Structure 1
Amino acid sequence: MAEQHTLTDDEFLLDDDIFAEDDFSAPKKTNKPLKDISFFQQLPVQVSLELASAEMSLGELTRMGEGDVIALDRMVGEPLDIRVNGALLGKGEVVEVGGRYGVRLLEVEDLGLGGASD
Structure 2
Amino acid sequence: MSAMPENPTFNADDLNFDDFQLEDFDTPVSNPVASAPERDLSFFKKIPVTVTLEVASKEIALGDLMKAGEGSVIELDKLNGEPLDVKVNGSLMGHAEVVIVNDKYGLRLIDVIDSALTGMGK
Aligned-pair Cα RMSD in Å: 2.5
Paired letter, 1:40: F
| Counterpart selection for 1:109 from 87, 110, 113 | 113
2-structure distance, mates of 1:101, 1:60: 31
Give the corresponding residue for 1:22. Answer: 25
In 1, are the aligned partners of 2:41 and 2:121 still within 8 Å (CA)? Answer: no
| Higher relative contact order structure (alpha carbons within 8 Å, sequence separation ≥ 6) | 2
Kindly indicate whether the alpha-carbon contact (under 8 Å) linking 2:96 and 2:107 is maintained by their aligned counterparts in 1: yes
Q: CA deviation at 1:115?
A: 3.1
Deviant stretches of 4+, over 4 Å? none
TM-score, normalised to structure 1, is 0.71
**Which 10-residue stretch deviates more, 104-113 or 76-85?**
104-113
- Cα distance in 1 for partners of 2:35, 2:118 equals 15
| Unpaired segments ≥5 residues, structure 2 | 1-23
Q: Which protein is richer in helix relative to its size?
A: 2
The TM-score with structure 2 as length reference comes to: 0.69
List alignment gaps of at least 5 residues for structure 1: 1-20
Contact 2:42-2:121 at 8 Å conserved across structures: no
Match for 1:85 among 83, 89, 114? 89
Q: 1:117 to 1:42 in 2, by over 3 A?
A: closer
Q: 1:72 aligns with which of 72, 76, 84?
A: 76
Greater gyration radius = 2
Answer yes or no: is the 8 Å Cα contact 2:85–2:92 preserved in 1. Answer: yes
